[in-house]
Structure 1
């Protein structure tokens, strides 16, 4: 998977990478040529006392060194540019893929894991590209070229290279093999710590309300300790690597000087040649060490690439139609025909044989006990999930055949847990209609019974909203979410238990305003309170994923035992209060 990602997402930057190779090649050739010039100065210039020769060759070495520096700077610049662009494109690809996921795929991966894969995992692969561009290109050139140049200097000492390089590679290979599984587990532990942190930040009010700060600190400490433990295990192995490299490097240097001294003594080798050979051996082993450094990064980048590839390779269960319908004739009439839905691997379906017709200009309410399938049902309407059987029709067209943009443009959804984005009241209200005028915004706020508290805010529509709307109350958050849907002015409104945080008086005023302010749209209301749906044109009673009653409030009081139980329990609660 790592290779596939590199090939695919680096293809647009072939020219930059080619420039990196060219300049790294020039730098490496300069590095290979310098020891030979140094040997010539010692053996030719110093031995003969030829100052002019020393100055000429020394000047050439200075020019080559300067060119080497320039090539290195340019190679690093182009390499960094390619690596950063690669990371940007890969993050964009992951984000785009997650954006088309249905609720099913998002739940399967989990939000914390998706965040880690979009950030930390992409960064690991990006760093590999950067280090490859700056180190790995020159490493094979220096190692192969160094061997050739060392053999040219003295063939008899070359056996030291044949011994030291394999010893180094075997030692490093054994360490890397043990590091790969540790890196895989460590990425999973990072997912866990992100999940715990996300839960604690989201549920801070609950934690404080139940005085569970100590427990949450213990839970975070455990997750933190797990990450630290595996990081230390990997770190200990990594710590072994460089001492081994330095040990081989130093022992090889001593061996070259030891055996080279005997050859100088018997006159078969010159001092400059020995120094050049030692320099080439150092270059070879340093190149191997650079490759070793890359080898440390490759296992973790491979694990990260697999995790990224898992996201990119997952197709959404909600598939866009091959030949989408781009227009509909009607005003948001909604019909369900024998709809069934079951989660993957579930023993029992959540919904079975659900059929009803919701006409435009009418209100259809759905009520039922907790776990009866209400939220799952309304999630099928905008295709957050696809029905596993039956069909969901909008204006007579199956939603699976509609252009997704057309479908979503017709629906205004207020979810069970209303979410506001960081920004202002204005930016949140304009989320579904960016060009909405101030008059339209105040109109929506008036219908949603939010005008008063927004007017009292210091900056009105430009008052700041924190991420998730945590700086407003639950009721205010719900009303702003309702106003956001109203600004869009869709043909179908879906309110998934969207009035639960409102008091009865505000609830009644809001429902009355909706009747006159939604322009004959189809309204689907999921509610727990009978008082919220008592005036609905039709009420559907859901139990164990099936419709067990349908009709108006008065009709259901006479015909549905389940509805009677719901009404009776709520009336009893109100009387007891």
Structure 2
């Protein structure tokens, strides 16, 4: 029971002292509360019934004094509970975020961003609430019940049966109302995942929604997932709503029975009114903690379900890990020769099973300093292929080597220093232009920052901003155009001057003239580096030293533009579909972009 919370106990190993203090405060608070209840008997029997005002005043003073002391102990316990709850939330939040940062691309493919956000926020908040109320009330309830039963046995054993009956009835009600509630809370959190996923997509793409006049569709889509969440949230809420009236019915019935049977004892002379009053309070002290349990248990069940979802991330093992045999190399000695040897790859589903091969038997050799273009239709495997070089994914068969070293035998941190990459999505972080370019290597000086920006043709617009490289960048770079974001992302990839540079469709938002300037500048800055361009647009790769044509995950042709235009019908088809019939421009067969060269060796 509560196996996930039991795992949390490791957090508190260094905090056993404060925890013991908090529960000691709780125990003294309960004992003082019982003492105050016991004084009710003295107040009624020796004070009110005897007409002794001095006893009434002195007893009242004692009760006030004990109440103040009890409040201090309860406050101390509350402060420790808040400390533990917030500390637990912070521990899980930081640990989960740190874990996410260590996961590989393959792991992240199986967790939606909205799902991760819910686990980092709502789920951890549920755990925090469970810890808070658990420390405040969970141990208080059984301790108070035991002490109250002991007091009932001492005061009025003849009516102990009534207390036991009430406790049994409350327990049965609790059992039926709370049965299966944890699964309901899991379903609620999963429904919240769906709501956050739709919210994130719709808000991120709100301009697309408006451009295609799909507001009504998005409203209906959100209403659907919101109603699913509502249904999932109502199920446990209805259960909890039933408990309060059920408890009231039991308490009022029990109180009536107490005064009926206790009254007979008073009339028969076997007990006194003070004992009945104290027993009534003791009865409340038994039912009250059970009500506390009813209040706490939903938080515990919700927290347990959420804790399990958080541990699902914490238990996730990164698919890509450094081998024990991995040896560091001198990055400055890396030339940038890349070889794919019978490389095959397939993505995995949530269960970790391969869903099918998306790359099959790739054999390719790229020499140092060459400029290579990867061309093919969407889904042909271009991006997947270049992602194998920095080991974002591992091949299922074959291997990928850099300067004869299997990429799996290189430490990942060093491998990512060797391979600089501008990904398909040009993500910028909030901060400044300078901070975004420095993201790849924080120790660069201003001259190196400007050189990288010039090579990416970003300096041309950055220098016109009043703040220049200290200009603010909003979240995801939304205050820059798509082309500007791409150029800043390229500058970030170039800034560290890696031996291998991969530009994954990262000039798609640039016009051809700007793209040509970027390629020429990249060649000038990174002449000795191996440069890989992934492109949908054939103009991006026309002057590459070698063009690799992919189709359905297979390498169907390799060569220069002039070679492929003569030997590959697929390449010729792509060329003519984008740039026009070759019969109308025969001079471009040998020289596709006259006067423009990307350099390198053929």
**TM beyond 0.5:** yes
Q: Which residue of 2 aligns with 1:96?
A: 98
Q: Which residue of 1 aligns with 2:467?
A: 459
Change (3 A) 1:245 1:88: same
Task: From 549, 554, 579, give the equivalent of 1:546.
Answer: 554
Q: Which residue of 1 aligns with 2:305?
A: 303
Give the CA deviation at 1:567.
2.1
Q: Which residue of 2 aligns with 1:121?
A: 123
Q: Which one is further off, 468-477 or 346-355?
A: 346-355
Q: Which one is further off, 57-66 or 295-304?
A: 57-66
Matches within 5 A, 1:150-549: 150-328=152-330, 329-344=333-348, 345=353, 348-549=356-557
Q: Which one is further off, 265-274 or 566-575?
A: 566-575
Change (3 A) 1:228 1:294: same
Q: For each residue in 1:132-155, what CA deviation from the matched residue of structure 2 results, as whole angstroms up to 9, or x when unmatched?
A: 111112111111110111111100
1:16 and 1:82 in contact (8 A); partners too: no
1:101 and 1:315 in contact (8 A); partners too: yes
SS of residue in 2 equivalent to 1:442: helix
1:117 and 1:308 in contact (8 A); partners too: yes
SS of residue in 2 equivalent to 1:343: strand
Q: Which one is further off, 45-54 or 406-415?
A: 45-54
Give the CA deviation at 1:54.
4.4
SS of residue in 1 equivalent to 2:179: helix
Q: Which one is further off, 262-271 or 464-473?
A: 464-473
Aligned partners of 1:367 and 1:465: how far apart in 2? Answer: 32
1:5 and 1:305 in contact (8 A); partners too: no
Aligned partners of 1:142 and 1:401: how far apart in 2? Answer: 61
1:132 and 1:294 in contact (8 A); partners too: yes
Aligned partners of 2:128 and 2:580: how far apart in 1? Answer: 63
Q: Which residue of 2 aligns with 1:148?
A: 150
Change (3 A) 1:369 1:130: same
SS of residue in 2 equivalent to 1:156: helix
Q: For each residue in 1:290-338, what CA deviation from the matched residue of structure 2 results, as whole angstroms up to 9, or x when unmatched?
A: 0111112222222212222222222122122224312244233322221
Whether 1:59 and 2:61 are equivalent positions in the alignment is yes
Give the CA deviation at 1:18.
1.5
Give the CA deviation at 1:373.
0.5
SS of residue in 2 equivalent to 1:541: strand
1:2 and 1:301 in contact (8 A); partners too: no
SS of residue in 2 equivalent to 1:391: strand
Change (3 A) 1:85 1:416: same
2:334 and 2:499 in contact (8 A); partners too: no
Q: For each residue in 1:276-295, what CA deviation from the matched residue of structure 2 results, as whole angstroms up to 9, or x when unmatched?
A: 11111101100100011111
Q: Which residue of 2 aligns with 1:5?
A: 7
2:334 and 2:418 in contact (8 A); partners too: no
Q: Which residue of 1 aligns with 2:593?
A: none
Give the CA deviation at 1:472.
1.5
Change (3 A) 1:541 1:56: same
User: When the two structures are superposed, what TM-score results if normalisation uses the length of structure 1?
Assistant: 0.95
SS of residue in 2 equivalent to 1:392: strand
Aligned partners of 2:17 and 2:399: how far apart in 1? Answer: 51
Aligned partners of 1:509 and 1:518: how far apart in 2? Answer: 14
Give the CA deviation at 1:51.
4.7
Q: Which residue of 1 aligns with 2:136?
A: 134
Aligned partners of 1:370 and 1:41: how far apart in 2? Answer: 86
Aligned residue pair count: 577
Q: Unaligned 5+ residue runs, structure 1?
A: none
Change (3 A) 1:531 1:355: same
1:366 and 1:527 in contact (8 A); partners too: yes
Taking only aligned residues, the RMSD between alpha carbons, in angstroms, comes to 2.0
Q: Which one is further off, 319-328 or 118-127?
A: 319-328
Change (3 A) 1:47 1:351: same
Aligned partners of 1:137 and 1:183: how far apart in 2? Answer: 23
Aligned partners of 2:375 and 2:12: how far apart in 1? Answer: 53
Aligned partners of 2:418 and 2:70: how far apart in 1? Answer: 63
Give the CA deviation at 1:227.
1.4
Change (3 A) 1:542 1:518: same
Give the CA deviation at 1:53.
4.5
SS of residue in 2 equivalent to 1:525: strand
Aligned partners of 1:17 and 1:116: how far apart in 2? Answer: 29
Aligned partners of 1:74 and 1:450: how far apart in 2? Answer: 59
Change (3 A) 1:574 1:33: farther
Change (3 A) 1:361 1:22: same
Q: Unaligned 5+ residue runs, structure 2?
A: 586-602
SS of residue in 1 equivalent to 2:369: coil
